């Protein structure tokens, strides 16, 4: 058994979280994580409308009677989604936890807390984590430079970012970016976190609702097989390296603008990767941690392995070095 204050505050058995992933955070995966004792997340904006989100939450409840959450990523957009309507569905559906990311969640906190929803906010810097804590969120997910998706612009890896944040954060904090196994969980705890968040590792599980070719691609890839796109635009994103990502990097490094790569990075193309199983169809996110992924277990097998091996590391190898 590995248990921390994160488990007590968020009502789960193990301090292992499945992060929200666009097109991937669906009921099948979130419920499997919940049933295995972790905290799984449905991704709100994977659902086309707030009404569809309500149906997906209900579908997840048919698959598990344990706590799960909904990810709501708030990003600047010319035509933003109806965030308030998605928020209201989360509250009205009595989802116990929401993972917020992207913009400052202050606008939505009163409604979430009034509805009894705990807020886990994802940050990529200590200053943003401190600000979120001051706003009254219930937990922090601190995201290191190794992560898939948006690592921020500070380029601080987890080995430095986690203890730096732990020095300032008083509420439960989980570590994100670069975690796949028991060694990562034990390291995160040693660095001051209360658990781990995994995205790419859960993508390579039996229940992940993506094509098997994508899962096999992660097993075969190394830690070097990612690209950082949008760096010149200061909107960096870490993605799986493929023909499309390399073209995007080349265009922007040569002085291109977002308009020059808009069609290449369209979300619809990334979704086709997961559905059709061709890793070169579009942009899709993957972290450096893919170099630590060597199989495609069920979610239950993965979580049990991490917890069992973490306990053995703490009570065995680490205890043995004490004199």
pLDDT tens for residues 277-316?
Answer: 999 999 999 999 999 999 999 999 999 999 999 999 999 9
Query: Are 185 and 258 found together in one domain?
Result: no
What's the CA gap between 197 and 29, in Å, rounded?
14
Average pLDDT estimate for 204-229? 98
Query: Are 81 and 136 found together in one domain?
Result: yes
Predicted local confidence at residue 78, as pLDDT: 72
Query: Are 31 and 144 found together in one domain?
Result: yes
How far, in Å, are 1, 21, 102, 278, 315 from residue 143 at the CA level? 25, 14, 12, 28, 28
Is 26 a member of any domain?
A: yes
Is 43 a member of any domain?
A: yes
Is 158 a member of any domain?
A: yes
Domain, as residue range, for 14:
5-209+296-320
Is 167 a member of any domain?
A: yes
Query: Are 178 and 270 found together in one domain?
Result: no
Is 219 a member of any domain?
A: no
What's the CA gap between 173 and 142, in Å, rounded?
7
pLDDT tops 90 at residue 247:
yes
Query: Are 256 and 145 found together in one domain?
Result: no
Asked if residue 120 lies in contact with residue 20, where contact means CB atoms within 8 angstroms, the answer is: no
How confident is the model over 16-52, as pLDDT tens digits?
999 999 999 999 999 999 999 999 999 999 999 999 9
Query: Are 202 and 253 found together in one domain?
Result: no
The pLDDT-based confidence of 322 (bands split at 50, 70, 90) is: confident
Given the DSSP bridges, would you call strands 237-240 and 226-229 parallel, antiparallel or unpaired? antiparallel
The pLDDT-based confidence of 79 (bands split at 50, 70, 90) is: confident
Is 58 a member of any domain?
A: yes
Query: Are 181 and 255 found together in one domain?
Result: no
pLDDT tops 90 at residue 82:
yes
Query: Are 310 and 244 found together in one domain?
Result: no
Predicted local confidence at residue 275, as pLDDT: 97
What's the CA gap between 144 and 198, in Å, rounded?
12
Query: Are 270 and 302 found together in one domain?
Result: no
Largest CA-CA distance found in the chain, in angstroms, rounded:
61
* Residue 3: CA count within 13 A, CB half-sphere: 9
Residue 159, number of CB atoms within 10 A of its CB: 14
Is 214 a member of any domain?
A: no
How confident is the model over 151-202, as pLDDT tens digits?
999 999 999 999 999 999 999 999 999 999 999 999 999 999 999 999 999 9
Query: Are 301 and 153 found together in one domain?
Result: yes
Domains: count for the chain: 2
Query: Are 183 and 233 found together in one domain?
Result: no
Alpha helices by DSSP H, listed for 82-177, are: 83-92, 109-114, 126-135, 158-166
Q: What is the CATH number of the domain that holds 130?
A: 3.20.20.70
Is 61 a member of any domain?
A: yes
Tokens of 140: 């922090």
pLDDT tops 80 at residue 145:
yes
Does pTM surpass 0.85? yes
The pLDDT-based confidence of 244 (bands split at 50, 70, 90) is: very high
Predicted local confidence at residue 75, as pLDDT: 86
Predicted local confidence at residue 77, as pLDDT: 74
How confident is the model over 211-221, as pLDDT tens digits?
999 999 999 99
Average pLDDT estimate for 219-246? 97
Predicted local confidence at residue 94, as pLDDT: 98
Average pLDDT over all residues of the chain: 97
Query: Are 84 and 155 found together in one domain?
Result: yes
Burial level of 254, CB count in 10 A (0-12/13-18/19+)? Answer: exposed
């Amino acid at each position: 058994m590995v248990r921390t204050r994160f488990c007590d505050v968020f009502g789960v058995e193990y301090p292992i979280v499945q992060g929200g992933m666009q097109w991937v955070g669906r009921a099948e995966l979130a419920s499997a994580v919940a049933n295995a004792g972790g905290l799984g997340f449905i991704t709100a904006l994977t659902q086309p409308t707030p009404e569809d989100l309500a149906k997906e939450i209900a579908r997840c409840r048919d698959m598990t009677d344990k706590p799960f959450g909904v990810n709501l990523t708030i990003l600047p957009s010319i035509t933003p989604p109806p965030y308030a309507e998605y928020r209201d569905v989360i509250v009205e559906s009595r989802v116990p936890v929401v993972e917020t990311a992207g913009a400052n969640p202050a606008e939505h906190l009163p409604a979430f807390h009034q509805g009894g929803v705990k807020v886990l906010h994802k940050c990529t810097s200590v200053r943003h984590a401190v600000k979120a804590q001051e706003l009254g969120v219930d937990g922090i997910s601190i995201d290191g430079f190794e992560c898939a998706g948006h690592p921020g612009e500070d380029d601080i890896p987890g080995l430095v970012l986690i203890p730096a944040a732990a020095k300032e954060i008083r509420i439960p904090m989980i570590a994100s970016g670069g975690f796949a196994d028991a060694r990562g969980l034990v390291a995160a705890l040693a660095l001051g976190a209360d658990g781990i968040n995994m995205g790419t590792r859960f993508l390579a599980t039996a229940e992940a609702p993506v094509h098997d070719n994508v899962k096999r691609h992660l097993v075969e890839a190394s830690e070097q097989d990612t690209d950082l796109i949008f760096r010149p635009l200061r909107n960096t994103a870490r993605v799986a390296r493929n023909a499309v990502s390399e073209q995007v990097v080349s265009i922007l490094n040569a002085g291109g603008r977002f308009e020059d790569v808009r069609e290449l990075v369209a979300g619809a193309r990334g979704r086709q990767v997961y559905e059709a199983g061709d890793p070169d169809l579009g942009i899709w996110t993957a972290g450096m941690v893919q170099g630590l992924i060597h199989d495609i277990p069920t979610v239950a097998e993965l979580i049990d392995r991490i917890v069992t091996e973490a306990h053995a590391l703490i009570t065995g190898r680490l205890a043995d070095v004490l004199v």
